[in-house]
Amino acid sequence: MAVVSRCLAILSLSLGALAQSLGNFNSSTSSSVPEQPWQTWGPYRPNLYFGVRPTVPETLLMGLMWANGDDRKTMLKSLRDTCEQNDGMQGYGWTFYDTRAGGSQAIHDTQLQLELRTDFLKSEDGNSWAVRITGTPKSGAADVKTSLILHTAVEKVDSNGPKSLVCDNRSKDGTQVEAACHGDMPALGKFEFQVLGDTQNKPIHDTVVKSIEVTEDRIWQAKSVLVDLFRDTAGNGISLNDAPGQGNMHFVQLAFQGPFQVTFTYQATGTPLLEANAVDSGISSLQSSFATRVDGVFPRASPFQQEKYTHFTQEILSNLLGGLGFFHGDTKVDDSHAPEYEETDANFWVKAAAARSRASITTTPPLTLLSHTPSRPFFPRGFLWDEGFHLLPVIEWDLDLAVSVLHSWLSLMDDDGWIGREQILGPEARSRVPPEFQVQYPHYANPPTLSLLVPIIIAKLTGTSPYAGHPSVYLSSPDRASAMLRTIYPLLARHYAWFRRTQAGNFTEIYPRPASAIPGTGFRWRGRTPQHTLTSGLDDYPRADPPHPGELHIDALAWVGASAAALEQVASYLGETDDAAKYASHVADVKHNLDALHWDSTRKTYCDATVDSSGRNEYVLVCREGYLSLFPLLLGLMDATHPNLDAVLDLLGDPDRLWSEHGLRSLSKSDEGYAKDEDYWRGAVWMNLNVLAVLRLRDVGLSADGPAAVRNRAAGLAAQLRQRLVDTVYGSWEATGFFWEQYSDVTGEGRRSRAFTGWTATVVLLMGLEFPGQVVGSEPVESSGSGRGALLVLAGVVGVPAVAVMLISGVRRRAMVAVAGVVNLLLGWRTSWKERGGRGYEQVIDLDERER
């Protein structure tokens, strides 16, 4: 009896999650944000080189592994499964990919002397898909042996209704079908798989089908299960023992000498099969329609019309789209709401750390998320701060997809309005994050980037911004558009109210505030420590030192302003005039206080603020010039008439401060913290905020009022900056085959994580921009004849990293960090976990260890 009721409880929970994933979590909202059939299947396991699953939790997982087939030892050592930094690949990624239809991924497996292609195609009705895997030996390696393992697993086979999956070995039945499986599951119904060979293939052994039962904790760990199976299989052979049948995990193993082609097809029973040769024709017609579509959605203006930018545009977009993942599972939350988390005392970070260490951690019920990911090898999960940027190009490409993802994120919100900034859902996602970093805190905010999207969506709906992407149900039906906004609006409003409440600055009499400031409109990121403000997204950007509970952070205020402006727009669109007036007044207050609280009229720059704790109890500004100083401009809160705009443009265009050959530096070159310590947000060029800078500068340039001199200057800066950003990302991609997390302001080289096609992909928004009266490619801003030329020459002679070392020489630790960069590039990766708050944690070389 107990067992039965437990099963029922699980069943209803799972069905709830399922309904949520389908956008039907409430019958009253079921038609507002529908999940569309074409979304059902996709390569939504972006952490794998190739992994497919449906957007239906607790059903099927599928993936591909491959390895060298010389002998068992080599095979197990070279098994490819999850995307890694150190597999000796010369790049991998989608050469074209459209979330609605499929695409083609190229994997340059230099170490295994193999070019691998995965051509994935799906039907629009969500009933079938196929992947064709093509292996081509590198030249000089014509006889290379490759083992190929397709695997599929059934999640939670014992819960949520009857689930079955049975596989047979058909390698001797005289057709090209090597193996076939059939199954039945709630939400998917009856379905069939086939594995098809090719007559040109030269198999090394017969096709093997191995069907087994594994425990639930291993269901996503096909690689380690396979390794264990080999450990239990006698001999040195590269194939498993054939044992087809029923199971919750199945391996289909094939091995070839030389080139090969294998096709894997899925279809709902009774629906038309995607035939193996239909994949060929489907893929080639997709390739050409994709190219046309990209040209239509992201047209390129001069000087980006050259052919070389065609592939660049297609690849960066495809890899952003190909990073879409579907995640389902529980997550760890500290629900203690300890009073220390208010962070009101002088040494609040010490007390907060103590409170965290004694808090008990809650495991939530399973949550569901459809999200793009910053980087498949490093950050294969959802990040709130990133997703708003990811969706900027996605909106242009496929409005309905962008709305689904936006809605999926907003559905994670709790009753208070909180959304965890890093979504580590389920054991597979957790396996990539050390335990001490897995917990999410309901008092931690993150830049509310999702609010950036709403004005753009509304501009599409009202036709003020052109839309050339996939057909949209919202554009074709005003009713559905309103229903969708009516679903999203209260969620955004709740999140906004939560942000204001939990990140409020302290406006009691205890702390001095400028007389002209409006009390209450000033904010402070919680979660600060002396070195980091991870919650702001700008991790190690220098702020008040030591931290003070009376601080006010300019970026937090600007994010509130941008969110209020977005809410004002939705409220107006929906005819909620009282709300619209309320948000408009919030925007006005924010604009007022950006100047009243954060403008330093002597230095002529925007700054954080703190309270002098040396006894005088004064309001003081903390001016560390860099991205923080640009936030009022970046978030659209300064128009062309603003009296401080000229000074902001001075800072932005000054080569000794933010303006570099490769984009805007995160921290001024003249700041004492420039390129120091972790050197993460301390000088490097980040594309997300640089792209915003181009767009906002251009807005100023195009505006109807304001002094002509300022407008022209803004337009000129926008055009030059755009050129530099595209050149930087393009140049590094051409040289390395990868897109990168950030770029050196000195050399333009990609830095930190590679295969980073999250927000770096926002550069696709730039190539089509036209600039008013602009002579593109002119060089009016940069002062020439500085030491820069000499450095570049030197870099050519002794190598860029050596120059980097010289530039920051003196302090041994700095030099070690720079050397680490060289070691990364030249010798591969010695890795360790390192905290990386804005976007979680990364594996980086940590030579600091040696100094401790």
Ligand X SMILES: *[C@@H]1O[C@H](CO)[C@@H](O)[C@H](O)[C@H]1NC(C)=O
d(CA 169, CA 165): 14
In the complex with ligand X, the residue whose CB is nearer, 418 or 599, is 418
Are 48 and 80 spatial neighbours (Cβ–Cβ below 8 Å)?
no
The HSE-up count of residue 236 (CA atoms within 13 Å, CB side) is: 4
The number of beta carbons lying within 10 Å of the beta carbon of residue 70 is 15
d(CA 596, CA 781): 30
Name the active-site residue from 400, 428, 539, 576.
Answer: 539
Are 118 and 261 spatial neighbours (Cβ–Cβ below 8 Å)?
no
Write down the least CB distance from residue 783 to ligand X, Å. 46
d(CA 167, CA 163): 14
Residue 303, preceding bond cis, omega within 30 degrees?
Answer: yes
Residue 546, preceding bond cis, omega within 30 degrees?
Answer: yes
In the complex with ligand X, the residue whose CB is nearer, 24 or 572, is 24
Write down the least CB distance from residue 206 to ligand X, Å. 3
10 Å CB burial of residue 370 (0-12, 13-18, 19+) is buried
* Residue 427 tokens, joined: 């054991």
Write down the least CB distance from residue 600 to ligand X, Å. 24
The 3-class SS string of 719-763 reads HHHHHHHHHHHHHHHHHHCCCEEEECCCCCCEEEEECCCCHHHHH
In the complex with ligand X, the residue whose CB is nearer, 139 or 508, is 508
- Dihedral pair phi/psi, residue 80, rounded to 5°: -95, 135
d(CA 384, CA 373): 10
DSSP letter assigned to residue 452: G
Write down the least CB distance from residue 527 to ligand X, Å. 15
Write down the least CB distance from residue 507 to ligand X, Å. 7
Write down the least CB distance from residue 98 to ligand X, Å. 31
- Dihedral pair phi/psi, residue 114, rounded to 5°: -140, 135
Query: To which H or E segment does residue 121 belong?
Result: strand 114-122
**Any idea which residue has 């590198």 for tokens?**
138
Name the active-site residue from 119, 741, 745, 842.
Answer: 741
In the complex with ligand X, the residue whose CB is nearer, 552 or 645, is 552
The greatest distance separating any two alpha carbons of the chain, rounded to the nearest whole angstrom, comes to 90
- Dihedral pair phi/psi, residue 682, rounded to 5°: -125, 40
Residues near ligand X, by CB under 6 A: 25-26, 28-29, 169-172, 206, 208, 242, 344, 504, 506, 508, 510, 549
Query: DSSP string of 211-262?
Result: EE---GGGTT-HHHHHHHHHHTS-SS-SSPPPB-EE-SEEEEEEEEES-EEE
Write down the least CB distance from residue 682 to ligand X, Å. 30
Q: How many residues does the chain have?
A: 852
- Dihedral pair phi/psi, residue 70, rounded to 5°: -70, -50
Coil, strand or helix at 76: helix
* Residue 634 tokens, joined: 């970046």
| Residue of 750, 695, 735 lying closest to 717 (CA atoms) | 695
Write down the least CB distance from residue 208 to ligand X, Å. 5
Write down the least CB distance from residue 20 to ligand X, Å. 9
Instruction: Check if 228 is active-site.
Output: no
d(CA 148, CA 262): 9
Write down the least CB distance from residue 170 to ligand X, Å. 6
Contacts (Cβ under 8 Å, ≥6 apart) of 145:
68, 69, 70, 204, 255, 256, 257
The number of beta carbons lying within 10 Å of the beta carbon of residue 830 is 15
Write down the least CB distance from residue 343 to ligand X, Å. 8
**Residue type for 187, please?**
A
Contacts (Cβ under 8 Å, ≥6 apart) of 425:
327, 328, 329, 330, 331, 366, 367, 368, 369, 381, 382
d(CA 502, CA 491): 16
Strand partners, 203: 256
Any idea what the Cα angle at residue 134 is, between residues 130 and 136, rounded to 5°? 175
Write down the least CB distance from residue 601 to ligand X, Å. 27
Instruction: Check if 71 is active-site.
Output: no
d(CA 213, CA 247): 5
Query: To which H or E segment does residue 566 belong?
Result: helix 554-573
Are 112 and 68 spatial neighbours (Cβ–Cβ below 8 Å)?
yes
Write down the least CB distance from residue 169 to ligand X, Å. 3
- Is the Cα dihedral 307, 308, 311, 317 positive or negative? negative
In the complex with ligand X, the residue whose CB is nearer, 491 or 715, is 491
In the complex with ligand X, the residue whose CB is nearer, 212 or 664, is 212
- Dihedral pair phi/psi, residue 112, rounded to 5°: -95, 10
Task: List residues with catalytic annotation.
Answer: 539, 741
